[in-house]
Structures are given as structure tokens and as C-alpha cells.
Amino acid sequence: MARIDFTGRVAIVTGGGRGLGRAHALELAHRGASVVVNDAGFNLRGDDAGDAAPADEVVRAIAAAGGRAVASHHDIARPQDARALVDLALSRWGRIDVLVNNAGNSRHGLLTEVPVEDFRAIVDVHLIGSFLVTQAAYPAMVKAGYGRIVLTTSQVGFFGKIDSLAYAAAKAGLLGLMHAIKLDSISHGILINAISPFALTRMGAIFPKELERLIDPAQVAAGVVWLASEACRLNGEILVAGGGHFAVARTYESRGIDLDDPASASAEMVGERWEEIADMDDALIYSDALQAVGATFARLKNMTGLA
């Protein structure tokens, strides 16, 4: 395919000062985008005073390579800061074509160990922050009739991780946010997708030195740049990327069983017929929740002669 180019496009990358966000910002700028590099510079827990250096350094690197960028030190978990971030992009370049929601923090713990303050702190950045920036940027995209939004989810949100309760809940919540937005956004020329990355960042575990070059954040940036491009026509997809591995993750529903008499349902019946209920052969993918419920509703209407 032709080289993906962002000349004339404006991109916002949250959490763009380090790790994955830095790689996304650099690659978008390399391909011609004007980039707002947002990073409040917090520590991994997100509970210190913040540091302007990470975002500023990425902006300098982009400028040194001949690109265009501006630093934002806004805290996206705060509504007024999310709005100010978007206003910065609009005042500087007059448009927003790409939004990469990447900012995150990390606090570990089991269910019985996690203080509610830690749970809220994780959800506030990953989920609420992504919501706030997307909500603020959306009207400009609607007005332009074009936009690409990328959310950052995780396989931890799909499958869980024993010490990452709040992180898993936030990352799963982002998928619900994506699926809800996609139903309206597509009519405005705006597509929204999610990246599920695996890379060497300060959030990850300590990896052997021999593996580090194989899990560079730049490899994930390849997937993000594709999802953020005009050439991408996907909407509501989840791209798993990292370590040279690329895959798609989706939510499926089994065909299940249908009772002739719904009133005959019992707990015992569910247990006895579980293998039939859970059989994933010829599984279904629905475009939205109404379609999923609608299949059962249509069957019930047929049973009662209402169809």
C-alpha cells in the first residue's frame, strides 16, 4: 500500500512524554503530523507534583527532526485540563484529526488490598481521562467531518491479572466506551478503535536485556499509526500489538440454546445443558447491544404471533 502520511493533520497524544506515547508522538510527527504532546509528568502511581521535562523533551526531539509539536502538561483526569488540552491544539493549528488516548498510571493490589482511592486514581486517568479528552475533541472532529480516535486497552482488561484489579477494570471499561462511541461517530466520518499493547515501558515487568529490543514501543506505534490513518476504515476494532505479534480481539457470543417455554428455565437446566450453552462453534458477533437482544426479542415475538 502507499506510504501512510499525516501531512496537514493534527494529532493529540496523551501520555506522550514517555514509553508508548513517546513512540506514537515521534512516529506521527515523522509522518508529517503536527503533534500536541500531552504529559503531566507524574510518577508511575500518578501521585506526585509532575514534571514538565518528558513532554518538553519529545517536543524538542520532533523539532530537531524538522517536525512540528507543542507540549501540554495538562492533567487529563481533570475536566478543565482536558478542555484546555483540546483548546491548545485548536488555538495552535485550528483542527484535530487524530486523538491517541494513551496516558495511564499503575497501582497494584488484590481485591482485599486495594483502597478505594487507588481504584479511583486508576479509573480517573485511564477511563475518565480518555472520556474527557475524547468528549472535548469530538465537536471539532464532527465539524470537520473527519477524525480518528485510538483508545489504549489491555489484555489485562480482557483476561485479568491477579494484582491489577483497578487497571483491569479501567481497561475493560475503555472497550465499552469505544463500542458506545462508534455507533454515533461513524455517521460523522469519525472512526474509533483500540490498541492493546505489549511493550517495554515503566508500567511493565522487568524483562531480560536480551528481549528489550524485541518489545520496543516503536513496534506498537506501527499499529497505532495505522489505526490513526485516513487509510484505516476500521471502526470498533481492538488491535493487539507488540513483540512482532499483531492480532484482533473481539467479543463473541455463543449460539446458546432457546427454550420453547421460557418459563421452564431452572438453575438445574442451566447446569445440565451448560456444554450446549457454552458451545462456541459458529459463535456470533453483534454490531451493538440492541442487535444482540433483538435476536431473542424477535424469536419471542414469533412465538406469540406478534411478528
Q: What is the pLDDT of residue 199?
A: 81
DSSP label of 288: S
Report whether pLDDT(7) > 80: yes
In sequence order, which ranges of the chain are alpha helices (DSSP H)? 19-30, 53-64, 79-93, 116-123, 129-144, 155-159, 165-185, 209-212, 217-227, 267-272, 274-277, 289-304
Report whether pLDDT(302) > 60: yes
Query: b/e string for 233-258 if b means 16 or more Cβ within 10 A?
Result: eebbbbbbbbeeeeeebeeeeeeeee
Tell me whether residue 138 is one of the annotated catalytic residues.
Answer: no
Cα separation, 188 vs 185, in Å, equals 5
Which of 138, 167, 252, 286 is an active site residue? 167
Cα separation, 188 vs 302, in Å, equals 36
C-alpha cell recorded at residue 110 = 488484590
Q: What is the pLDDT of residue 303?
A: 83
Bridge partners, residue 39, by sequence: none
Report whether pLDDT(212) > 90: no
For residues 261 and 201, the model is more confident at 261
Average pLDDT over residues 262-285: 97
Query: b/e string for 25-63 if b means 16 or more Cβ within 10 A?
Result: bbbbbbbebbbbbbbbbbeeebeeeeeeebbbbbbebbe
Dump pLDDT digits (tens) for 187-200: 999 999 999 998 87
CATH 3.40.50.720 positions along the chain are 10-249
Q: What is the pLDDT of residue 46?
A: 81
For residues 216 and 190, the model is more confident at 190
Q: What is the pLDDT of residue 51?
A: 86
Q: What is the CATH number of domain 10-249?
A: 3.40.50.720
9 and 29 Cβ atoms separated by less than 8 Å: no
Dump pLDDT digits (tens) for 66-110: 999 999 999 999 999 999 999 999 999 999 999 999 999 999 999
**Residue partners of 74: CB distance under 8 A and separation at least 6:** 38, 40, 81, 82, 84, 85, 88
First-to-last CA distance in the chain?
Answer: 48
Q: What is the pLDDT of residue 299?
A: 84
Report whether pLDDT(206) > 70: no
Cα 121 to Cα 236, 242, 244, distances in angstroms: 26, 26, 32
For residues 204 and 306, the model is more confident at 306
Cα 101 to Cα 38, 140, 154, 245, distances in angstroms: 10, 16, 13, 21
C-alpha cell recorded at residue 204 = 511493565
Cα separation, 161 vs 169, in Å, equals 10
Dump pLDDT digits (tens) for 129-156: 999 999 999 999 999 999 999 999 999 9
Average pLDDT over residues 214-228: 94
Amino acid at the residue 109: G
C-alpha cell recorded at residue 248 = 484482533
Report whether pLDDT(211) > 80: no
| 203 — pLDDT class (breaks 50, 70, 90) | low
C-alpha cell recorded at residue 211 = 528481549
Report whether pLDDT(266) > 80: yes
Cα separation, 153 vs 195, in Å, equals 6
Dump pLDDT digits (tens) for 23-54: 999 999 999 999 999 999 988 888 877 789 99
Report whether pLDDT(204) > 70: no
Q: What is the pLDDT of residue 210?
A: 73
Report whether pLDDT(205) > 60: no
Cα separation, 279 vs 19, in Å, equals 40
Report whether pLDDT(201) > 60: yes
Provide the mean pLDDT of the chain: 94
CA-nearest of 135, 223, 238, 149 to 189 is 149
- What is the share, in percent, of the chain residues with pLDDT greater than 70? 97
